[in-house]
Every structure is written in C-alpha cells, then in structure tokens.
A and B are shown apart, each in its own frame.
With several copies, the nearest count.
Chain A
C-alpha cells in the first residue's frame, strides 16, 4: 500500500527481510512436524539421554521422509511426461 513512498533500495531490503523470515518460519514449522512424527516412531521410552539407536532413528526418520517426498514428486513428474 505505502510502497510508493519507499525508495527502491528500502523496498528491496524489506522484501528480502520478509523472504528470510518466511523461510525461517517454514523451516521451524517443518522441524516441529518432523520431531512430532519421528518422536512417535523412535521414542517408545525415555532415559537420561538419547541413546545412539534413538539418535540414528530420528535422523533416518527425517532423511527417509524427505527421500519419500522427493521420490513421490519425481515419479509424479515422470507419470505426467509419459501420459
């Protein structure tokens, strides 16, 4: 709305600030979702620290979920190209 009153450089800085904050918010929101999902998958009990099996499970849970997501997107693209 008030964009016309801002000089081009300030506008560009503002736009970049918003973009960076948005991507931070998206990142944190993904981390919340992953931790929620992977906690249920990996943490059936809690001790005095995360044991190495739980740590490995949490990392693999995130990695394999992202693999699944890429696999699904790539396969959909392929199916669309062949159709």
Chain B
C-alpha cells in the first residue's frame, strides 16, 4: 500500500523532528530525570511544532496555487 507507507513515513519524520526540537529547546542541561518544567515545556513545544507544521503546509500550498495561477495568465 503506497499511500499508507507514505503516511507512515510522514508521521515518523514529524515525530523525529518534534522530539529533536523539543529536546533542543527544553532540555538544555540534561539532569537525572526530566523535571516538571521540562515536561511542560516539551508538551508546549510539541503542540506548537504541530501548529507550525500545519501553518507552513497551508502557506506553501497557497503559494504554489498563487504561482501556478500567475503562470497561466
């Protein structure tokens, strides 16, 4: 199933990026465990990263449409 494989690859890529960016932003000095502040920060970073992904996706799609209309005129 080509479509399913594509969706899985996309979700895995997103998961990896979310983990990397949350870790980089929230765990600047890794200690003996994730503390409450770090967990809260990771939860927020996750939600914001997914919002950012959706926003970027819409902005890119809109731009592609605008550019293709421009070329047809």
Which residues from B are CB-within-8-Å of A72?
15, 18-19, 22, 42, 46
Which residues from A are CB-within-8-Å of B51?
49-50
B-contact 0/1 string along A29-65, CB 8 Å cutoff:
0111011101101110011111000110111111111
**A43→B33 CA distance, assembly (Å):** 20
Which residues from B are CB-within-8-Å of A66?
60, 63
Question: Which 6 pairs between the two chains have the least Cβ-Cβ distance?
Answer: A64-B30, A60-B30, A46-B44, A68-B23, A59-B59, A46-B48
Which residues from B are CB-within-8-Å of A41?
30
The reply on B32 being an interface residue by CB < 8 A is yes
**A58→B29 CA distance, assembly (Å):** 11
A-contact 0/1 string along B35-46, CB 8 Å cutoff:
000110111111
Known: A27-B64, A75-B43. 12 other contacts (CB 8 A): A25-B9, A31-B60, A32-B13, A38-B52, A39-B49, A43-B25, A43-B52, A46-B45, A49-B48, A55-B55, A72-B19, A76-B46
Q: In the complex the two chains form, is B60's CB within 8 Å of A60's CB? A: no
Which residues from B are CB-within-8-Å of A24?
6
